[in-house]
Amino acid sequence: MLIYLFRITSEEHDNFLREIEIQPNQTFLDFHICIAESAELLPVDRASFFITDKKYKKDKEIALKPEKKQIRKYDEDMDQVVTETITIPLMKNSKVKNYIEDPHQKLIYECSGKDQFTFYIELFRILQSDGIPSYPRCVKHSGTLPKKLEQPLPIPTKPSPPKITVPKISLPKIEPPVKFDEIVEDVDEIAEIEIQLGALDEPNDTPDIEVPGSVQEEEEDAFSFEEEEKMDHLEDYEDIDNLDKRYSAMDSESDEF
């Protein structure tokens, strides 16, 4: 079984090199997957192989996804250039051997997505299979491709509330307090106050006037004295009964008057 050995390089990255072995009956879709895995490419939106001449001038295109393309070509019958719409062949339906026209066939592979690269491919050798059942395979690997940094998605921010403007209120001007040092003492007024205070502190020589009590108060005092005198002689009576008789006699005499 014959095996195609393709060498893949990049003009943009000199140190990049891949060598891939693929069977002639395999498709360009198999070729595309092997290149993407060996080069560690990110998922692509569009990819195409171009069959070229020896100077890498593009001719036929083989696309990853269905595409239509308008081409301009010369029509011999009409003897003029006409525009024609064609459908580009798909990788999954195109076998590699059907597009090899030269022992050193050259191709261009382009892919675009988050990254965009262009690779130059050349059929380097045709050799016999060594019995390896799995193809295509990368047999030589050198250099890496730079990866674009993914920009982080902006974090949505909450809109800031409207700024409230508070009107300024003008306050009345406050006069500074009067200092005590600025108060002038009235010497004459202070001297007069001291004289009045001294007069209040002098002792009063006026004798106290005794106010005579009323006649009723004198009678009450005499009566209380008689009672005390009588009470002092109460012990002289040996018999209470005699005392009662005495007071009874005094009451009868008072009635006669």
Per-residue pLDDT of 77-104, as tens digits, reads 888 888 888 899 999 999 999 999 999 9
Asked if pLDDT for residue 257 goes beyond 60, the answer is no
| Final residue before a domain boundary, out of 127, 142, 157 | 142
Tens digits of residue pLDDT in 161-216:
777 777 777 777 777 665 555 556 667 777 788 787 777 666 555 555 554 555 45
Same domain, 7 and 118: yes
The whole-number pLDDT of residue 255 equals 52
161 domain residue, yes or no: no
Distances (CA, A) of 154 to 9, 34, 90, 147, 157: 37, 35, 38, 21, 9
Domain containing residue 255: 217-257
Alpha carbons within 13 A on the beta-carbon side of 8? 29
The whole-number pLDDT of residue 77 equals 83
The whole-number pLDDT of residue 86 equals 87
pLDDT band per the 50, 70, 90 thresholds, residue 37 = very high
Q: What value does the mean pLDDT take over residues 49-72?
A: 92
Q: What is the DSSP letter of 257?
A: -
For residue 204, which phi and psi values (nearest 5 degrees)? -95, 115
Question: Alpha carbon 204 to chain centroid distance?
Answer: 88
Which residues are CB-neighbours of 17 under 8 A, at least 6 positions away? Answer: 7, 8, 9, 140, 141, 142, 143
Same domain, 29 and 121: yes
The whole-number pLDDT of residue 228 equals 47
Same domain, 130 and 244: no
137 domain residue, yes or no: yes
Give the residue with greater pLDDT, 218 vs 76: 76
**For position 136, which CATH number holds?**
3.10.290.30
82 domain residue, yes or no: yes
152 domain residue, yes or no: no
91 domain residue, yes or no: yes
Cβ atoms of 35 and 8 closer than 8 Å: yes
| Final residue before a domain boundary, out of 103, 122, 142 | 142
pLDDT band per the 50, 70, 90 thresholds, residue 69 = confident
| Domain count of the fold of the chain | 2
Which residues are CB-neighbours of 107 under 8 A, at least 6 positions away? Answer: 6, 49, 50, 51, 52, 99, 120, 121, 122
Same domain, 6 and 125: yes
| Spatial distance between the Cα atoms of 99 and 175, rounded to a whole number of angstroms | 103
Mapping DSSP to helix (H, G, I), strand (E, B) and coil, where does residue 95 land? strand
148 domain residue, yes or no: no
193 domain residue, yes or no: no
41 domain residue, yes or no: yes
Same domain, 131 and 231: no
**How buried is residue 135: exposed, middle or buried, by Cβ count under 10 Å (0-12/13-18/19+)?**
middle
Same domain, 128 and 237: no
Same domain, 118 and 226: no
What is the CA angle 132-137-142, rounded to 5?
Answer: 130
Give the residue with greater pLDDT, 16 vs 147: 16
| Final residue before a domain boundary, out of 142, 157, 176 | 142
Tens digits of residue pLDDT in 117-171:
999 999 999 998 877 778 999 999 999 888 765 555 666 666 777 777 777 777 7
